[in-house]
Amino acid sequence: MDAILLQIINGLDKGSAYALIALGLTLIFGTLGVVNFAHGALFMLGAFCAVTFSKILSISQVVIDPTRTDFLGNPLKVNTPYVEVWFGDFGTALLDWSVPLSILMAIPVMILIGIIMERGLIKHFYNRPHADQILVTFGLAIVIQEIVKAFFGANPIPQAAPDAFIGSLDLGVMVGFAENAIIYPYWRLIYFAFSALIIAGVFAFLRFTTFGMVVRAGMADRETVGLLGINIDRRFTIMFGVAAAVAGLAGVMYTPINPPNYHMGMDFLVLSFVVVVVGGMGSLPGAVLAGFLLGVLESLASMPEIKNLFGAIGLPAIDQIIIYLVAVIVLLVRPRGLLGKAGMMEE
């Protein structure tokens, strides 16, 4: 029992990442009708926002300390980040909290990138076939990826979570299991809570604001909303920015879990597409539900018991293929996905 519980919460953090990326993909698809293959690249850009932010924070003043020497006998160079020089302990805290703080930078940057992408490129593809949209965003993903590689190199750049969140929480003890049965790293807990917050925020934004109401109306019937004298294009552009920001934030907070490298976007992209399709093209709750579901399923399938169970019927490495298997079955049995509307994208 505790093993199953452990796997379920283990799946939640990956599931949160899937859900956030899939949410952004669905937002773009539902509003603009565009399949965005560059969405994984936006996730990756978010992660590199965190890297850039911590690089900026740790720009250092180099002081030669004549009293000490390094192992070669030369005077020791002491690097002190400027923020520490200027703000003392507060600066040290800033450095420590650079990942969460980089959210402040990532939000405007990602919204801007999203809006530039939509106005500069995707706008011109509304009337072209879906294959063209896929191709051009696929090309864009390659370009973004290579630009990031040119700037940051090909190696992963580890980012540390704040000291306060390093270590694990013994969840099992709280609900009555034995000690150390269910332990869970703090940061993953934070990631889960954070993504739940973002998801709730997006839904609330669409549900309870006038802007969100107009956007939902536009998703239902773009033409009529346009005829009512509302500039729906501008709102959809902003929604693209929001979707980019959601993907970017997912990337920012993911950096302590998985050191960002330039191709992390592509790795997540395939799975996010599967998530979107399983959840139902154009259905926001579907994307979130499928994201968590597949994340949990993936981690459940990696349990030895389950592996042996499926191994007995001839599927030994079920954890490697479970997501794709589920996707294939869902698409064949229920083509519109778990919560999708019928007739979406059925040309």
Partner 1 sequence: MAKHNDKLVLLIFSIIVLLAPLLLAPTGAAYPDLMQRFAIYGIFAIGFNILFGLTGYLSFGHAAFLGVGSYSAVWMFKLLSMNIIPGLILAVAMAGLFSLLIGYVSLRRSGIYFSILTLAFAQMSYNLAYSVLTPLTNGETGLQLRLDDPRILDAAPVEGVLPSTNLFGLEMREVFWNPTFMGYELQFNYGFYVSAFFLILSFYIAIRIFRSPFGMMLRAIKTNQTRLNYTGISSRPYTLAAFVISGMFAGLAGGLLATMDPLAGAERMQWTVGGEVVLMVVLGGMGTLTGPVLGAVFIKYFENIFSKINAVVLHGWFSFMPTWLENFIVMIIYPFVGKGWHLTLGALFMLVVIFLPGGLVDGAKRIGGLFRRKTKQEA
Residue numbers of the site for partner 1 (CB under 8 A)?
35, 121, 124, 128-132, 134-136, 138-143, 145-147, 149-150, 266, 270, 273-274, 277, 281, 315-317, 320-321, 324-325, 327-328, 331-332, 335, 345-347
Cα 328–329–330 angle (5° rounding)? 95
Residue 278, token pair as written in the block: 């399983």
* SS3 at position 19: helix
Q: Which is nearer to partner 1, 155 or 320 (CB)?
A: 320
Q: Which is nearer to partner 1, 9 or 121 (CB)?
A: 121
Cα 22–330–122 angle (5° rounding)? 35
Q: Which is nearer to partner 1, 7 or 133 (CB)?
A: 133
Minimum CB–partner distance for residue 26 and partner 1 (Å): 13
Please state the separation of Cα 318 from the chain's center in Å: 25
Q: Which is nearer to partner 1, 89 or 347 (CB)?
A: 347
Q: Which is nearer to partner 1, 146 or 163 (CB)?
A: 146
Minimum CB–partner distance for residue 270 and partner 1 (Å): 6
Minimum CB–partner distance for residue 150 and partner 1 (Å): 5
Beta carbons within 10 angstroms of residue 283's beta carbon: 22
Q: Which is nearer to partner 1, 140 or 160 (CB)?
A: 140
Q: How many Å apart are CA 185 and CA 168, to the nearest integer?
A: 4
Evaluate whether 24 touches 198 at the Cβ level (below 8 Å): no
Minimum CB–partner distance for residue 141 and partner 1 (Å): 8
Minimum CB–partner distance for residue 128 and partner 1 (Å): 8
Please state the separation of Cα 44 from the chain's center in Å: 8
Evaluate whether 265 touches 44 at the Cβ level (below 8 Å): yes
DSSP states along 217-244: HHHH-HHHHHHTT--HHHHHHHHHHHHH
Minimum CB–partner distance for residue 248 and partner 1 (Å): 20
Q: How many Å apart are CA 237 and CA 242, to the nearest integer?
A: 9
